Structure 1
């Protein structure tokens, strides 16, 4: 197996917060915070920024995932990939690994069925779930540095919705409301505690994702 470079503060992903890329775009880091406060507040009141809505969903899902750490799970946020995209959240624990994606749709009713999504009374829209949110890429990266199989599934979490009706999903894909994230806590049997720590050590090292 290839060896990863030693972990450094610059390559340690465990310090990243939910929605890191969105925070940077919105100026919610460093000097950008002052610029945002001085020039952006009034504009946001007049015309809500969809990125801010998305960031709200990332924060809410991050908070729910944090509750699982008391049950032996590890969590990483905003795992950067080589093409500039991110895996929103990576959940690692006794039940395996999950690439977790947040969808924030305040006050909407949602129906998932046969590769489509429908909001309220609208028309169904194509919505592919197979490997859309990085599960396959995560598995390839993690198994490159681990001496055991690493099962990786997808969890899609809808936040702020009034109703969620899930009719069909592909295998290894779970679709939940934010308060249902706790249902992942008792999952077990996929990884031993030692394997969980090994997967976490690999996943938190940004160098592992350089070619992902």
Structure 2
């Protein structure tokens, strides 16, 4: 059948591919991770295979859609503009570099931060075949944005990325120092962020600091509650950690975490005036 369109959904190169009719109705989708084609209309089966053929690799399973899980139902009910899964690392930094101040020093610092977040984000995204799910640039009420949120077999990690700038970095209980720059309150911030994420997801969350391109790294022996990661050894360390979550738990937490409404409070509705009372009078 001519006129079928293949459209991506989710993060580029990682989400599903949907096959739609000219009027926009979906007739099938291809789940790249499971290597499965779910066909909604069997009379379009051959046309769907022809449309998806350029995107297929290896042995592909074809059949009706599987019974939706609770995570699937939550994702289907989520408004498209509430989905955090397509977020790129450093979304705000991209906007600041494009429309922000023209000062050379400021732009150089923004580029360093963006490069560190992008490299760390790419490394975390590469863990997806091993059962990990990653969100970038997660809004947290009162705290700004969390660089990365990892959910996988070894648990849930809140990650703040710090560019090492090829200098010595030192992590203490309250402050982090890179080279001769003024100390940063990253340890305190990531603890607060992890506590907030834990309350929202109702699960234990590990705060983590990820150093990128630090020449040397020193961690105070009293820092025991924060996981300190260093690029490029961060992902092997996570893969070697003992498993505490089953795959269904990972998917359920990811479905909850990718919804913006999990993190931002609902807008307050104005309170209607009491009957018989004039506005402005007590």
Equivalence for 2:167: 108
**Could you tell me how far 1:132 is from its partner in structure 2?**
2.9
- What is the correspondence of 1:48-87 to structure 2 with a 5 Å cutoff? 49=107, 50-83=109-142, 85-87=144-146
Structure of higher RCO (CA pairs closer than 8 Å, 6+ residues apart)? 1
CA distance in 2, matches of 1:169, 1:135: 19
| DSSP-derived class of the 1:168 partner | coil
Unpaired stretches in structure 2, ≥5 consecutive residues: 1-73, 267-282
- What is the correspondence of 1:93-172 to structure 2 with a 5 Å cutoff? 93-120=152-179, 122=180, 125=183, 127=185, 129-130=187-188, 132=190, 134-143=193-202, 150-172=203-225
Is the contact between residue 140 and residue 264 of structure 2 (CA under 8 Å) also seen in structure 1?
yes
Equivalence for 2:79: 8
Is the contact between residue 113 and residue 163 of structure 2 (CA under 8 Å) also seen in structure 1?
yes
- Change in CA separation of 1:167 and 1:82 when aligned onto 2, cut-off 3 Å: closer
| DSSP-derived class of the 1:132 partner | helix
- Change in CA separation of 1:153 and 1:116 when aligned onto 2, cut-off 3 Å: same
Q: Tell me the C-alpha RMSD between the 2 structures.
A: 2.8
CA distance in 2, matches of 1:64, 1:89: 11
Equivalence for 2:255: 201
CA distance in 2, matches of 1:172, 1:200: 23
**Could you tell me how far 1:126 is from its partner in structure 2?**
6.4
**Could you tell me how far 1:158 is from its partner in structure 2?**
0.8
Of residues 227, 231, 242, the one that matches 1:178 is 231
Normalising by structure 2, report the TM-score.
0.60
Unpaired stretches in structure 1, ≥5 consecutive residues: 144-149
- Change in CA separation of 1:197 and 1:103 when aligned onto 2, cut-off 3 Å: same
- Change in CA separation of 1:22 and 1:126 when aligned onto 2, cut-off 3 Å: closer
Matched length: 190
